[in-house]
Amino acid sequence: MEIEKRTIGVNVSKGGVKAVVWAPNAKNVSLRICNGRIDLPMEQKDLGYWHLQTDQLKDGDLYRFVLDGEKFLPDPASLSQPEDVHGPSQVVDLKTFQWTDEGWDNPALESYLLYELHAGTFSPESNFAGIEAKLDYLKELGINAIEIMPVAQFPGGRNWGYDGVFPYAVQHSYGGPKGLQQLVNACHKKSIAVVLDVVYNHLGPEGNYFGEFGHYFTKKYNTPWGNAINFDDAWCDAVRQYYIENALMWFRDFHIDALRMDAVHAINDFSPKHILAEIKEHVDALMKQTGKKHYLIVECDLNDTRYINGLDKQGYGMDSQWVDEFHHALRVTAGGDRTGYYEDFNGLKDLAKAYCDAYVYDGQYSAHRHKNFGVPAKNNPGKQFVVFSQNHDQVGNRMLGERNSQLFSFEMQKLMAAAVLTAPFLPMLFMGEEWAEPNPFLYFVSHTDAELAEAVRKGRKAEFAAFHAQGEAPDPVDEQTFEGSKLQWDLLDKYPHAMMLAYYKTLINLRKTVPALKNLNRQHVQVEANEENKTLVLHRWYQGEHLVVLMNFSDQQQVIALPSTEKKWNKLIDSASPRWNGPKEAPDHLPGDSKVDLQPESAIIYAIS
């Protein structure tokens, strides 16, 4: 069977170029070749699609679609917008890139060690080439999967990526489609998988011409970003096909290894077959044809296992999901504030539950939501949950964008890192946390529409009006807000950042090499929590190996008894060691029935085998 090809937009083929656009309300549609101001009439076919086959358009040409002779618009399925969101689209032949990753095999999902990054602030160059220049660093750190925040074309050159308005077009300032192909190829050469963040729940406001073409939106539902994308209302078939083909394009034409789908709880779809399940079916078919593995990871705020249960269990078939509740419980346990959604979390006992059950709320009453919330996830394997101590949301949605390095002590940061990297789930780091990057990660945009830019500026200030005692919310439109959010690579060899980096490298290496940490069998996990002294003991087993992670979240030294055994306990790492700028080293070897002095805000891992 032939591999499913991209059918919409403008695609280069042997016979020239084939153009397809969905515009069911238009009376006539033509394609304008901008280079020569030539208009080529398109033929109307079934279900509102317009077609054109021509040899007058070639790779690199600029074009627009003309609706009813008066609306000159960029292509909704554009692959490139070199003149920004309001400019013409560009023909790109994705087949011309010379791939050298034929031998690449996407690792098993359970072995992923994720590193979330933003293409604009990760490197001084603010582009894909800048990421490529740091791949040796990431490899040495121990990362085997980078997760890139959305790259769909947005207005200007500064944006988190969630304001994208061309889901098929790769941000031009980052390097465009060829730049992304080059980055993925380079990652695979270094044995690093690439996860791409995509947004299927809304489109940004500026440069959003979708409503001019067809019924891409529905008024049936409201979202935080306006009208919902039309996945189940009249005319939804073409919209569903648009997003199915988008997911397939990233895997097929860009060799992306996994997609991280943003806020799928905001996708409204009451069709007999949910759009996520339909995407999964098509991805499964693609994998069967190509022999390549691809994963679908979702951000979901519903604690609903339907999203991650298999298609054969009437689920949507997603391979994994972010678990914010682990983050929330860890943060409160570490001494973070309990405002907003954090009010639902009581600290240590919730963290203990997260280790065992993934979801903290799996049916009980949530005071923040004012209702019973969630279902148990007892039968879902550890690889279906991604955990972290910080990410772009949890940092950037704070008024001042403070990272953990600004909110917690050096010792607590090391403890939180151990808490994540020893969890029976997929761990994820947020760029720069491994060296305690002090720069914030702020919210920034570069809208070219002055009214919209001012509205965003005012909205950000209003959102944090209650926090004005802490100062003004940084202006998201100001270029300095963006520049001040960049990583400081010159800190890597300076105190104490070099020490934190060395600690992270050691922890990551343990995660990847110690069988009891590598294995994600949730049946081989046990937790003992002592709320009085704020200590937690995490047990992990694998075959004959027994490993304990001793965690002290208090500001006082605590004494913990190791489990009784006839064998000796061997220390794997101690965050309180002077090697990591800690106050005191614990013994390297201890007999069974020993007690350990656990330093304030520290973690020790002991193992027997």
Q: What is the secondary structure of 189-255 as a DSSP string?
A: HTT-EEEEEE--S---STT--HHHHS--EEEEEEETTEEEE-SSSTTHHHHHHHHHHHHHHHHHHH-
Query: Residue 170 has what DSSP assignment?
Result: E
Q: For residue 232, what are the contacts with CB-CB under 8 A and spacing of at least 6?
A: 218, 220, 268, 269, 270, 271
C-alpha dihedral sign at 325, 330, 331, 332: positive
Strands 89-90 and 114-117: unpaired
Alpha helices in 24-143 (DSSP H): 128-132, 135-141
332 known member of a binding site: no
**Distance separating alpha carbons of residues 415 and 334, to the nearest angstrom:** 9
Query: Residue 435 has what DSSP assignment?
Result: G
Residue with tokens 């005319």: 235
Please choose, from the candidates 535, 522, 444, the residue with its C-alpha nearest in 3D space to the C-alpha of residue 486: 444
Q: For residue 560, what are the contacts with CB-CB under 8 A and spacing of at least 6?
A: 535, 537, 550, 552, 595, 596, 598
262 known member of a binding site: yes
396 known member of a binding site: yes
- Quick one: tokens of 110? 């359970």
- Quick one: tokens of 102? 């034929």
Residue with tokens 């079934």: 46
Of the candidates 299, 304, 433, 437, the residue annotated as catalytic is 299
Residue 262: active-site member: yes
Q: Which helix (H) or strand (E) holds 115?
A: strand 114-117
261 known member of a binding site: yes
Residue 83: active-site member: no
Q: What is the secondary structure of 121-134 as a DSSP string?
A: TSSTT-SHHHHHTT
- HEC string for 540-592: EEECCEEEEEEEECCCCCEEEECCCCCCCEEEEEECCCHHHCCCCCCCCEECC
* Other Cβ atoms within 10 Å of 471 Cβ, number: 10
SS3 content of the chain, % helix, strand, coil (to 5): 30, 25, 45
Of the candidates 84, 116, 245, 262, the residue annotated as catalytic is 262
CB 251 within 8 A of CB 295: no
589 known member of a binding site: no
101 known member of a binding site: no
397 known member of a binding site: yes
Q: For residue 469, what are the contacts with CB-CB under 8 A and spacing of at least 6?
A: none
CB 226 within 8 A of CB 205: yes
CB 258 within 8 A of CB 297: yes
- Quick one: tokens of 120? 């604009």
* Other Cβ atoms within 10 Å of 41 Cβ, number: 12
Distance, first Cα to last Cα, the chain = 50
522 known member of a binding site: no
265 known member of a binding site: yes
- Quick one: tokens of 452? 């919209």
392 known member of a binding site: yes
Query: Residue 12 has what DSSP assignment?
Result: E
Give the alpha-carbon dihedral of 76, 81, 84, 86, to 10 degrees: -40
263 known member of a binding site: yes
Annotated binding-site members for substrate: 260-265, 324-328, 392-397
Annotated binding-site members: 260-265, 324-328, 392-397
For the annotated catalytic residues, the residue numbers are: 262, 299
